[in-house]
Every structure is written in structure tokens, then in C-alpha cells.
Amino acid sequence: MSTEEIISIDNQTSIPALFRFRAQTLKNKVAMREKHFGIWRTFSWDQYYSKTARIGKAMMALGLESGQTVSILADPCKEWLFFDLAAQCIGCVSCGIYATDSAPQILHICEDSDTTLLMVENEEQLDKYLAVEERLPNIHTVVVLDSTGLTDLDHPKVVMLEQFYHLGDEGDEDLESEWNRRIDNAEPNDTAILVYTSGTTGAPKGAMLSHRNIIFIAQAFHEFYPITAEDDSVVYLPLCHVTERLLSVFLPLARCSTVNFIEGQDTAFENITEVSPTYFLGVPRIWEKMYSSITLRMKDATWFGRKALQIALSIGSRAADFEDKGLPVPAHVRLMQRAADLLVLNNIKVLLGLDRVRIGLTGAAPISPDLIGWFRALGVPLYEAFGLTENVAFACGNHRGQVRLGTVGKPPPGVELKTAEDGELLIKGPLVFKGYYNQALKTAETIVDGWLYTGDIAEIDADGFVKIVDRKKDIIITSGGKNISPSEIENQLKFSPYVTDAVVIGDGRKYLTCLVMIDNETVCQFAQENNVPFSDFKSLCATAEVQSLIKSEIERINLSLAQVETLKKFRLIDKQLTVEDDELTASMKLKRNVVNEKYADLIDQMYS
């Protein structure tokens, strides 16, 4: 690579430098809010920076050198950000671990990344570390945020957060100048963060993302989705996932916006409603949940209310059509839409917490275009975007005036896209990652000639919109030799409020079948309306009425499919799947291979 273009924000070419600059210029502006004991408490950029500096100094006092790795194992909270940025500022690499990971998984990541310092949230996470401690000799310190249940702990490597802060407070001036020196020394091509991607084959690999990658994406993102200092967002998805990291750590750094932390997983939706963010990212499952919560509530609403919503949505849909094409909305349509919004739609948005959303995003998994259409009709600007961990979460996206439903939009300036002969999508630009940590072979397979091989099959249409067909590995080849994209079929099925998820099966088989996971709430409601008796979830799935309900949903989508693509049979998964049982990924996608294995007998039934 010859002379690279300098990429910077406000003349800062690295994250640490940008962070320090922000703290110096923004000072008392609110950087983050956290709900604590019922009220929202604010933290300014100044406080954010000083806390982070104390942690950074403590890390240096413990002997952390540039280039070493710091791992973070916690649910989203402000300390996550402090540790993340502190590590980057002292020249280390910050690596996040899912709080739902098990001890063996944590062992793999810490080993693979050569972690020297680990931050854990509480006793639960600490226990996981202690289970695999002997095999992680490189970790010399473990910092615990919440000392509940650990007052009697006496472990040479474990430090509580309060003590850890003090480590940095002693030895003032030397550490202070060292801190600033390290920030000054940060090079754009240094690895800033390590993000482990859950591979479908083999163990997770650590993707190295540099300061340059991140700053470029923060800028590119802003081209499509303008964020200002007045914006508010909610932090609720795991921060180790690159998309949440981008939106909640780096974007606010770049654009000076404010982040709001949820109280806990159980109160996530409630908190979103309270904060009413101005930009919001959700994985498709979140949007689906919001949609079905409204459909469910409307079932119990008055007749007039239901009718009003129906009319309001159709008006909203018309207005959205014009907007998506980039055309001006006719005055009378705009007027009707305003009225519909004021009288009907706004309340629904307030209920979901989406009334202030200027930019709604969905990604990380395929989503049904009908679902996006519903939200657009509601008046929520929802755009589908696409990206991999390996390109810092964002490669292309639909945005205002450039929307084509069913596609993931166009790439921003500076990003090149093309498809290989077999249809695999390739990406080139400053957003392509450095490589996998300690995996030269895998890296060489993934980046060839500067092009990132995404592993997704795509079609780029005449206007430059990208349509993702499917993961290369997931494409089904029937015994008749036909190539079928299961995601497309699954998406259509998932738009039904009764279906949470579906897996289409047919690789090497004569015909296609599917396993369906139904939505407990909506199907329960259906059973209640039709007086269908049932006891638990299993018996609900087993009732004849629910079977025929799902059958009719499947027959409905079969109508729009080619003969060879139709689903001939189905079975219901009569257990609620969870992330912990490894049946779902952290972004709540059904793990295809795991499901195929666990329910092999159901599958065999369908093909016997």
C-alpha cells in the first residue's frame, strides 16, 4: 500500500487523541447518563475523561506496555467505556467478551488474544475466570467492578474497582506525562480494538481494527446518517459487538453526542421508552419484538382505535414511498400524514420510545422488508444497513432519499464494492481491517489484494443498490442441484407476528422443509381468542389449531415462492431457545447448525 490518505476528525488521527481533544473542548457537556436508583444521573465529558485517565494510569502503574491486550467482560455500563478507552489511550488493545460466554469460551479468547489484564463486572463473571485461571498465566490482574458478595475475597490477582482507581492516583506527575505521551504516540495504523467474531466453523477469531479503520467509518457513517452534539442514543446491546461499539463509543466521540445506559436487560424496553433516543440501532429481533408488542396491544384496543391505526398507517405508507424515492412529498399527502401522526401514530411511537428517532437502523441479520415498511409507515425512519465486524460494522446502507426496500443500500464515499464470479461480495477501502490476530493464514484467505471477502453472496443492481442473498455457507443446494437462499424464505416467514424465527432445511435433500419457532405471546393470544385449551408452551405448540395456524402462514408465503422453493413440511420447535444454551447468537439469530443438530430427529421425521 503506497501513500495512504490521512483520515482524521478535527485533525485527530487516533481515537486517544480525539478523546483527549473532546474532553478539553466539551468539558461540562453531558457525555453519558445512567439510571441509578430510579433517577437518571449525568456525567460530563470532563468526568468521563478523568475517570478514564485514572484507570489508564492504574494500568500503567501495573506495568501494562503498549501493544498488550486488555479484555473486558461486563454488561453495558459506563465503566465498560472507561476501560475500553483507557486501554486504547495507553497504547494497548481493547478486547470485549460477551457477558453470556461460558468459561471455556472466555479461556479461548483470553488465551488467543494474549490478554494481560481482565476486567470483570461481578462475582458471576469472576467465577468464570476463576474456573479457568490456571490456564491463563499471562493475566496478572483482574479488576472487579461490583464487589457484592466478594468482601471476603483474598486473591493476589483480583483488585476491586475502588482500589484500582487509587493505584492510578498515586505517582501523579510521572504517570500524567506518560499518559499524555502515549496518547501522542498513537499511530493511525495501530490496532485499537480486537473484536472476536463467532465463526460458524472453528473457534472465534479476533479481528484487529485500527484507529484509521474506526475514524474512517465514523466519518463515513456521518455522511449517510448525520449525528450532531444534540443527539441521544441508548446503549443496550453488548458492547463487545462491533456495531454497538461503533454507535455508543466511537460515534459519540466523533460527533459529541450523548449516550444513555440502560439499567439492565429486563428494563431495556422501558429505558428506551424513557430516554426516547434520537438515533437507534436494533437487531431485527428487537424491531420484531416492538412490532408484535403493538399488534398484541391493538388486539385488546377499541374498534375505533384499530380502525384509526389502520388508516393512519396507510397514509404514512404513502408518504414514506415518496421519501424513499427521494421525491418531494405532495402537500396534501404531507398534511394528512401530519394529522395522522398527531392523532394516532405519535402515541405509538412514544410507547415504543421511538418518537424522537431521526435515524433508525437495522443490521447484523436479515430483516423482512415488510417490517421496515411498517415502521416507515409509522413514521420511524428505519434504514437497513450492512457490514461485518471485519469492516467495522458498516459497509453500505439505505439512507434518506436513497432507499430501496429489500436491499442494504449503497456504499458511502471511499468504499468500493464488487461481486466475485460466484457472487461473493467484496469490499475495499480504509474500512477493511488489519487482519485476524495471530492468524496469518485465515487473514490471507479473507483479504486478497486489498479486497475483503465477506462470505456473503450479493447482487448489485443497476443503480448500485446491494442486495444480500445469503451467507455463502448457508446456501442450500438441493439434491436436484438447485441453489436456494434460505434467508429469503425465512425472512418472509418471520414477518408473521406468530413466527419468531425459522430455519429452512434442504441441503442435499429432495425438497425444502422448515423448523419454526413460534412467538409465545402472540400465539397465546391467538389461542385465547379461539378458546383453544393448552397448558405449557409445549402443549401450545402441539394443539391442532396452532399447527394449522402455522400451516396457513407457511402456505401463504408458499404462494409467492417458486415451486422448487416451497416448503413442503414443517415442525414446531416446542422449546423456547436461548443464547445461553448456544442455540442463538448474541444478536439473537438462530444458529443454523446447532438447531440442525439438536433437532435432527424432527428433521428426519419430515423426510421419512
Partner 1 sequence: MSESPLLQVRNIETFYGPVMAVRGISLDVHEGQIVSILGGNGAGKTTILKTICGALEPQKGTVVFSGQDITAWQPDKTAKQGMGHVPEGREVFPFLTVKENLEMGAYSRKGKNEIDADLEMVFHYFPDLKNKINLQAVLLSGGQQQMLAMGRALMMRPEILLLDEPSLGLSPLLVSEIFDIIYRLNSEQGVTMLLVEQNAHMALKVSHAGYVIEVGRIVFDGDRDALLNNPDIQEFYLGKKQAIGREKRRWKQRKTWR
Partner 2 sequence: MRILFKTNYKQDLNLAKHGGHRFWYGLLILILFSAPLILDGYYIGEATRVLIYAMAGLGLMVVTGFTGQVSLGHAAFLAIGAYTNAWFLAQGFSSFVALPMAALLSMIGGLLVAIPAARMSGIYLAIATLAFSIIVEDFAGHLNSITGGNRGMMVDVPMLFGYQIWESWELYLFVLCILIIATLAVLNILRSPLGRAMIAVRDSEVSSQALGVNPMKIKVFAFTVSAAITGLAGAFLAHYMMFLTPQIFGILLSIQLLLMIVLGGLGTVHGVFFGAVLIGVMETGISIGKDALPFSIGGLPGIEPLIFGVILISVIAFEPTGIYGRWVKIRSYMEFFPVYRRKSFKRQRSYLKTERLR
Residues in touch with partner 1 (CB under 8 A): 99-100, 102-103, 124, 265-266, 524, 527-528, 531-537, 539-540, 575-576, 578, 580-582
Q: Residue 24's binding partner, choosing from partner 2, partner 1, none, with beta-carbon cut-off 5 to 8 A by kind? A: none
Q: Does 302 bind partner 2 (CB under 8 A)?
A: yes
**Sequence-ordered list of residues with C-beta below 8 angstroms from that of 481, at least 6 positions apart, any chain:** none
CA distance 112 to 125: 19
Looking at residue 12, what DSSP letter applies? Answer: B
Interface residue with partner 2 among 2, 3, 11, 39 (CB under 8 A) is: 39
Nearest CB to partner 2, comparing residues 185 and 295: 295
Q: Residue 347's binding partner, choosing from partner 1, partner 2, none, with beta-carbon cut-off 5 to 8 A by kind? A: partner 2
CA distance 252 to 240: 16
Residue type, 118: L
Nearest CB to partner 2, comparing residues 268 and 586: 268
β-partners of residue 385 are 397
Q: Which stretch binds partner 2 (CB under 8 A): 50-58, 201-209, 237-245, 271-279?
A: 271-279
Nearest CB to partner 1, comparing residues 98 and 221: 98
DSSP H or E run through 112 = helix 103-112
The C-alpha angle with vertex 72 and arms to 59 and 68, in degrees rounded to 5, equals 50
Q: Which residues ranging from 498 to 517 are in contact with partner 2 (CB under 8 A)?
A: none
Nearest CB to partner 2, comparing residues 195 and 235: 235
Q: Does 308 bind partner 2 (CB under 8 A)?
A: yes
Interface residue with partner 2 among 348, 359, 385, 493 (CB under 8 A) is: 348
Other residues' Cβ atoms within 10 Å of the Cβ of residue 177: 10
Nearest CB to partner 2, comparing residues 262 and 590: 262
CA distance 239 to 69: 17
Q: Does 403 bind partner 2 (CB under 8 A)?
A: no
Q: Does 276 bind partner 2 (CB under 8 A)?
A: yes
Q: Does 305 bind partner 2 (CB under 8 A)?
A: yes
CA distance 164 to 310: 57
- Cell numbers 506525562 correspond to 177
Interface residue with partner 2 among 335, 343, 448, 564 (CB under 8 A) is: 343
Nearest CB to partner 2, comparing residues 274 and 370: 274
In the bound complex, what is the minimum distance in angstroms from residue 291's beta carbon to partner 2?
A: 13
Q: Which three cell numbers stand for residue 529?
A: 381468542
Helix ranges (DSSP H) in 102-185: 103-112, 123-131, 161-169, 172-184
Q: Residue 111's binding partner, choosing from partner 2, partner 1, none, with beta-carbon cut-off 5 to 8 A by kind? A: none
β-partners of residue 144 are 120, 160
Residues in the chain: 608
CA distance 14 to 497: 45
CA distance 59 to 61: 5
Q: Contact 229/255 with Cβ under 8 angstroms? A: yes
Nearest CB to partner 1, comparing residues 64 and 546: 546
Q: Residue 301's binding partner, choosing from partner 2, partner 1, none, with beta-carbon cut-off 5 to 8 A by kind? A: partner 2
Q: Does 294 bind partner 2 (CB under 8 A)?
A: yes
Q: Does 336 bind partner 2 (CB under 8 A)?
A: no
Going through 79-230 in order, the beta strands assigned E by DSSP cover 93-97, 115-120, 141-144, 158-160, 191-197, 205-210
Other residues' Cβ atoms within 10 Å of the Cβ of residue 559: 7
CA distance 23 to 44: 9
Q: Residue 535's binding partner, choosing from partner 2, partner 1, none, with beta-carbon cut-off 5 to 8 A by kind? A: partner 1
Interface residue with partner 2 among 273, 317, 543, 596 (CB under 8 A) is: 273
Which residue ranges make up the site for partner 2 (CB under 8 A)? Answer: 38-42, 273-276, 294, 297-298, 300-302, 304-306, 308-309, 312, 343-344, 347-348, 350-351, 353
